Amino acid sequence: MVRTQIQLPDEVHVRAKKICEAREISFAELTRRGIEYILGVYAEGAGHPDNWQPPTPRRLGWKGLSDEQIKTQAQATTTEVALSARTRK
Q: Could you read off the pLDDT of 6-64 as tens digits, one per residue?
A: 999 999 999 999 999 999 999 999 999 999 988 887 776 555 667 777 878 766 666 78
Is 44 domain-assigned? yes
Number of domains in the chain: 1
* CB 31, CB 45: distance < 8 Å: no
Is 60 domain-assigned? no
Is 17 domain-assigned? yes
Give the residue from 50, 47, 28, 26 showing the smallest Cα distance to 38: 47
pTM for the full predicted model: 0.49
- CA–CA distance from 32 to each of 4, 6, 42, 72 (Å)? 11, 12, 15, 46
Is 41 domain-assigned? yes
Compute the average pLDDT of residues 58-87. Answer: 77
Q: Which domain covers residue 39, as residue numbers?
A: 10-51
* CB 1, CB 11: distance < 8 Å: no
Phi-psi region of 59 (alpha: psi -120 to 50; beta: other; left: phi over 0): beta
User: For the CA atoms of the chain, what is the radius of gyration?
Assistant: 24
Is 27 domain-assigned? yes
